[in-house]
Structure 1
Amino acid sequence: IEGRPDPGPGNHPNASHLTINGNYFQTMHIPLLSGRTFDQRDTKESALVAMVNEAFVRTFFPGESAIGKHILLDHGAKKEKPLPIEIVGVVGSTRHESLAIAPIPEFYIPFAQDPDRRMDLVLRTSVAGLSGLQNAVRNVIHEIDPDIYVPKLQPVEHLITGTLSQPRFNMIVLGCFAGVAMILAAIGIYGVIAYSVAQRTKEIGIRMALGAQRTDMLQMVLRQSFSVVAIGLAIGLFAALALTRLMASLLYGVSAHDFSIYALVLFVLSFAALVASYLPARRAMNIDPMVALRYE
Structure 2
Amino acid sequence: MRQFVTENLILATLGGVAGLVLAVGSVRLFDRISSLPRSASIGVDVYALGFALSITVLTGLLVALAPSTAFSRVDLIARLKAGRHEVGSVGGPRSRLLLVSEISLAVVLSVAAGLLLRSFRQAEHLDPGFRPDHLLAAYLRNSDWRAGRVFFPELVERTSELPGVRAAALGKCIPGVYAPTATLVFSDRLNDSLNVPSVEACWISSDFFKAIGARLVKGRFFTTHDDANSPAVVIVNQALAESYWPGHNPIGAQIGVDYVGAGRNIAGAPRFREVVGVVADVKQRGLDRPAGPALYTPYLQDETNHAFAGFDLFVRTIGPPTSTAGTVRALVHSLRSDQPIEAMQTMNDALFRALAPRRLSLVLVGSFASLALLLSAIGIFGMIAYAVSQRTHEFGVRMALGARQQDVLRMVIGSGLKIAATGVFVGIGASLALTRFMRSLLYAVGPNDPLTFAVIPLLFALVALAACYIPARRAMRVDPMVALRCE
Q: Under TM normalisation by the shorter chain, which class is it?
A: 0.7 to 0.9
Tell me what 1:233 maps to: 424
- Give the conservation status (yes or no) of the 8 Å contact 1:198–1:281: no
Equivalent AA in structure 2 for residue 84 of structure 1:
F
Is 2:371 the partner of 1:180? yes
Tell me what 1:86 maps to: 274
Tell me what 2:250 maps to: 66
Q: Which runs of 5+ in 1 are unaligned?
A: none
Tell me what 1:138 maps to: 333
Give 1:197 deviation, angstroms: 4.6
Is 2:316 the partner of 1:124? yes
Give 1:224 deviation, angstroms: 4.4
**Match of 1:151, SS?**
coil
Tell me what 2:345 maps to: 155
- Give the conservation status (yes or no) of the 8 Å contact 2:332–2:339: no
**Match of 2:315, SS?**
coil
Is 2:386 the partner of 1:195? yes
Give 1:21 deviation, angstroms: 1.1
- Give the conservation status (yes or no) of the 8 Å contact 1:50–1:87: yes
Give 1:25 deviation, angstroms: 0.5
Is 2:242 the partner of 1:54? no
Distance 1:187 1:284 in 2: 18
Equivalent AA in structure 2 for residue 14 of structure 1:
S
Distance 1:173 1:48 in 2: 50
Distance 2:337 2:482 in 1: 96
Distance 2:371 2:259 in 1: 55
Identity %: 35
Give 1:80 deviation, angstroms: 2.9
Query: Which one of 377, 395, 407 corresponds to residue 216 of structure 1?
Result: 407
**Match of 2:295, SS?**
strand
Give 1:32 deviation, angstroms: 1.6
Distance 1:153 1:276 in 2: 51
Give 1:95 deviation, angstroms: 3.7
Distance 1:91 1:293, change over 3 A: farther
Give 1:13 deviation, angstroms: 0.7
Distance 2:260 2:408 in 1: 82
Q: Which runs of 5+ in 2 are unaligned?
A: 1-184
Residues 63-121 of structure 1, C-alpha deviations (whole Å, 9 max, x = no match) = 55433333222476666333432222222333444444443321111223335333413
Distance 2:243 2:426 in 1: 40
Is 2:299 the partner of 1:111? yes
Tell which has more relative contact order, 1 or 2 (C-alpha 8 A, sep 6+): 2
Residues 123-180 of structure 1, C-alpha deviations (whole Å, 9 max, x = no match) = 22346152233112433xx3xxx59835356123454454344544444333332222
Tell me what 2:135 maps to: none
**Match of 1:94, SS?**
coil
Tell me what 1:287 maps to: 478
Tell me what 1:27 maps to: 211
Equivalent AA in structure 1 for residue 291 of structure 2:
P
Residues matched between the structures, number? 290
Distance 2:383 2:239 in 1: 54
Tell me what 2:130 maps to: none
Distance 2:283 2:216 in 1: 16
Is 2:186 the partner of 1:2? yes
Question: Which of the two has greater helix per residue?
Answer: 2
Residues 192-244 of structure 1, C-alpha deviations (whole Å, 9 max, x = no match) = 33334555545434433432222233224334432442343344356556655
**Match of 1:33, SS?**
strand
Distance 1:275 1:43, change over 3 A: closer
Equivalent AA in structure 1 for residue 251 of structure 2:
I
- Give the conservation status (yes or no) of the 8 Å contact 2:239–2:291: yes
- Give the conservation status (yes or no) of the 8 Å contact 1:194–1:276: no
Distance 1:6 1:238, change over 3 A: farther
Distance 1:200 1:277, change over 3 A: farther
Distance 1:75 1:276 in 2: 62
- Give the conservation status (yes or no) of the 8 Å contact 1:233–1:266: no
Distance 1:76 1:186, change over 3 A: closer
Distance 1:59 1:294, change over 3 A: farther
RMSD: 4.0
Distance 2:433 2:206 in 1: 47
